[in-house]
Chain A
Amino acid sequence: MRIQGIQDSEPGGWEVISKDKRGKEHDNWGRDPAVQHIRRVFAGMEQIQKIQLDQLRLSLLDNRLRSIRETALGFYNRATVLAVERGIRLTDSTMLGIYRVCLQQALSIAGITISSDLLTDDSPLGELVREVSR
């Protein structure tokens, strides 16, 4: 996922890290609704990944995961562009639906068999992802 316009707010940049009396940092970014939205989506993606890997009993240290994640991200970036071109509104649930199918597609390309009861086609999102993964 590409985040546009974050250069000005990247950590290590202009943001002054403020701390309370106990030395705990204030989460200044967390007040920004755009940041809250992106956090929600990323947390959802992570949850999808965790559930999928748990179901497949894949270790988080499994060497194949790097290329699986990279492939899924590549599909996701292309599929969301295509979705916008086709007038599909990218709500949180649409984005997560696309990512779920992308991850499943990437797992299957890596030769990891996903049982049919774990497959979520999410058409037309499934169609979208199949198109970009051809």
Chain B
Amino acid sequence: MIRLRLFGRCRIYHDPVSPVLRAPAQIGWEAWFRRIDLVTPRRLKGKELLMRTRGWWTVEPDEVADIVEAHGQLAVGDRGELLVELEGLDTAEILANALSERFGDQVMLAP
């Protein structure tokens, strides 16, 4: 298995950028009849992190997810990187071509 990062082009500067989860999301709760002080840190899953690129990338993340998930699995790396897990280099090249066919040079795989 190989893991590659997923980059999209920044809507402002057009350079390749990839989201990184710097800290877990802090999930708290509010209720109608009680106060809940509990806050639970929660790491996002790969697809959830990808969805956070909406408005930052030049392309819609759900369209990216459809293509990526047909070839591999979205994941979050040890350092919070948005990754795609793939069977091997051949699959990575097939996915890279599929992304290029659909999005041109707007989405790319990179180490």
B98 CB contacts on chain A under 8 angstroms: none
Structural contact, A35 and B110, CB atoms closer than 8 A: no
Instruction: Give every chain B residue within 8 A of A6 (Cβ-Cβ).
Output: 12
Instruction: Provide the bound-state CA to CA distance between A118 and B55, in Å.
Output: 39
Residue A39, interface by CB 8 Å: yes
CB contacts under 8 Å to B, within A63-106, are 63-66
Residues on B with beta carbons closer than 8 Å to the beta carbon of A17: 55
Tell me the count of chain A residues lying within 8 A, CB to CB, of chain B.
22
Which range contains the number of B residues in contact with the other chain?
A: 20 to 34
Q: A17-B55, A61-B109, A66-B111 are in contact. Are A11 and B12 (CB under 8 A)?
A: yes
- Which of the candidate stretches B26-34, B42-50, B67-75, B88-96 sits at the interface with the other chain? B88-96
A66 engages B13 (CB within 8 Å): no
Residues of chain A at the chain B interface (Cβ within 8 Å) = 3, 6, 9-12, 17, 29, 35, 38-39, 42-43, 45-46, 60-66
The 7 closest A-B pairs by CB, nearest first: A12-B55, A42-B15, A66-B111, A11-B11, A29-B12, A11-B56, A63-B111
